[in-house]
């Protein structure tokens, strides 16, 4: 019994010694691994601090004052001063067409005739009837002087004559309805009827539009009513003619504001001697309003728009570097922007006259980033840019 207890005690001490050695070895290994990782991170941080921020290449522009003419902009639609889809007032068969599609015509030009032979015959019969009524009336007038007929007979003859003459006038009007004339001078559209075709009353035959001058109707918000006056200069552009503006003036302002949109309709009259503007064309209208204002201007690409505020990067010259080159560093600042004009934007606060501002490459910048300015490929900046016609 004593021997078994001694052996058991000796075995426990050996097991404990081996466990202590194993734990110590594991602690040394883990300590070495963590120590190496900490040393590596420390050396990498020192290396990055010694490297500094990388130099970025950007494009720039100098902020400067410019005179801006405030203006109102709206979209509208061209409308002919006189425009109508011509159609007959009576039914009939087309017997003659006297125009070509797209022709310019004068007021009163005969365009289309409808078959009217039966109406002509009826007119001749009515004229003969009226002529007989006149002969009877005049004869009875002479007979009345010698008491050959009564006054009642003469009065009846007079009323018969007037009735017959009215029927002649009515039949003449029906004949006139079968001759469609141009009600005003203008340009015709595409013919919509053919020779021999039966047309009902109100069937469109051709459109006629007076093109010079021409109206442009557009809407402005009610807040702009005080800025618009009759006779005020207006310029309009059409996407059909890029880069070209048509001049005119405000000719009418509606007498009420639309209660649904709170907009007021305005009409401008434009000169159109070449007939380039056609009714129905979409127009962008610009009206100068108020006095010119002096603003600091920048290209719109210089401004970074964010929900928390708009900002720009200003380039500061901090002397020269070790090689003697200018040391340029950017500084981000919040700005308040105003109106835009073409590629430019007005800066109301945040930038001073003469500040150099980054216009391209902002996405890779932050406060204190050193930069190199390269404006060799800087895009053009215009107040009234003209798209390149592909």
390 occurs within a structural domain = no
- CA dist 303 and 339 (Å) reads 13
Domain check: are 193 and 220 in the same one?
no
**Residue 224, domain CATH:** 2.40.30.170
Indicate whether 78 belongs to any domain: no
User: What contacts 294, CB < 8 A, 6 or more positions away?
Assistant: 65, 66, 67, 68
Are 282 and 305 members of one domain?
A: no
Q: Residue 73 domain-assigned?
A: no
Residue 176: how many other CB atoms lie within 10 Å = 13
> How far, in Å, CA of 387 to CA of 390, rounded?
9
Range of the domain at 123: 84-207
Q: Are residues 236 and 330 in the same domain?
A: no
Shared domain check, 225 and 214 = yes
The pLDDT score that the predictor gives to residue 23 is 78
CATH number at residue 369: 2.40.420.20
Q: Are residues 216 and 307 in the same domain?
A: no
How far is Cα 283 from Cα 266, in angstroms, rounded to an integer? 13
Domain annotation covers residue 308: yes
Same domain as 200, residue 94: yes
For residue 384, being part of any structural domain is answered with no
Residue that terminates a domain, selected from 175, 207, 239: 207
Q: Exposed, middle or buried, 114 (CB in 10 Å: 0-12/13-18/19+)?
A: buried
Q: Is residue 48 part of a domain?
A: no
Q: Are residues 203 and 214 in the same domain?
A: no
**Phi–psi pair at 186, nearest 5 degrees:** 175, -165
112 found inside a domain: yes
**pLDDT in the model for residue 3:** 47
Q: What is the pLDDT of residue 11?
A: 59
Q: Which residue has the tokens 């006259």?
A: 353
Low-confidence stretches of the chain (pLDDT < 50) are 1-3, 6-7, 47-51, 389-390
| Other residues' Cβ atoms within 10 Å of the Cβ of residue 355 | 21
* Claim to verify: residue 96 and residue 174 sit in the same structural domain: yes
Question: At which of 207, 242, 273 does a domain end?
Answer: 207
Do the Cβ atoms of 350 and 312 come closer than 8 Å? yes
Tokens representing 359 are 């216009």
Has residue 72 been placed in a domain?
Answer: no
Label residues 69-93 b or e (16+ Cβ within 10 Å = b): eeebebebebebbebbebbbebebe
Please tell me whether residues 284 and 337 are part of one structural domain: no
Give me the number of domains the chain comprises: 4
Same domain, 235 and 307: no
φ and ψ at 197, to 5 degrees? -80, 140
Structure tokens at 180: 């469609």
CB 94 within 8 A of CB 114: yes
* Residues 201 and 216 grouped into a single domain: no
Domain boundary among 288, 322, 355: 288
What pLDDT does residue 146 have? 79
**What is the model's pLDDT at position 390?**
43
Together in a domain, 225 and 183: no
CB 88 within 8 A of CB 203: yes
Pair of tokens at residue 289: 């309003």
Instruction: Read off the CATH number of the domain in which 150 is found.
Output: 2.40.50.100
């Amino acid at each position: 019994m004593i021997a078994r207890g001694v052996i058991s005690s000796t075995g426990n001490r050996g097991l404990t010694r081996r466990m202590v050695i194993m734990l110590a070895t594991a602690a040394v290994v883990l300590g070495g691994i963590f120590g190496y990782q900490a040393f590596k991170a420390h050396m990498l941080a020192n290396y990055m601090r010694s490297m500094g921020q990388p130099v970025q290449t950007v494009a720039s522009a100098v902020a400067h004052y410019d005179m801006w003419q405030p203006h109102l902009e709206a979209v509208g639609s061209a409308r002919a001063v006189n425009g109508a889809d011509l159609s007959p007032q009576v039914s009939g068969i087309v017997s003659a067409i006297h125009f070509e599609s797209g022709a310019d015509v004068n007021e009163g030009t005969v365009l289309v005739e409808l078959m009217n032979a039966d109406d002509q015959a009826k007119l001749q019969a009515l004229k003969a009837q009226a002529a007989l009524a006149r002969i009877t009336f005049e004869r009875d007038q002479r007979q009345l002087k010698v008491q050959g007929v009564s006054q009642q007979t003469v009065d009846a003859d007079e009323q018969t004559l007037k009735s017959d003459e009215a029927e002649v006038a009515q039949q003449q009007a029906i004949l006139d309805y079968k001759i469609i004339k141009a009600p005003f001078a203008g340009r015709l559209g595409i013919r919509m009827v053919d020779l021999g075709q039966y047309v009902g009353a109100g069937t469109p035959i051709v459109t006629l539009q007076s093109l010079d001058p021409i109206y442009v109707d557009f809407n402005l918000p009610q807040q702009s009513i005080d800025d618009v006056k009759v006779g005020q200069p207006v310029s309009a552009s059409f996407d059909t003619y890029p880069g070209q503006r048509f001049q005119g003036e405000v000719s009418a302002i509606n007498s009420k504001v639309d209660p649904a949109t709170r907009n007021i309709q305005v009409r401008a009259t434009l000169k159109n001697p070449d007939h380039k503007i056609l009714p129905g064309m979409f127009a962008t209208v610009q009206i100068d309003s108020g006095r010119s204002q002096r603003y600091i201007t920048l290209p719109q690409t210089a401004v970074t728009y964010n929900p928390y505020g708009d900002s720009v990067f200003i380039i500061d010259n901090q002397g020269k570097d070790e090689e003697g080159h200018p040391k340029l560093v950017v500084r981000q600042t919040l700005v308040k922007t105003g109106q835009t004009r073409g590629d430019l934007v007005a800066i109301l606060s945040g930038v001073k006259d003469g500040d150099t501002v980054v216009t391209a490459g902002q996405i890779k910048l932050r406060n204190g980033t050193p930069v190199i300015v390269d404006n060799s490929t800087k895009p053009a900046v215009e107040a009234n840019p003209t798209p390149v016609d592909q």
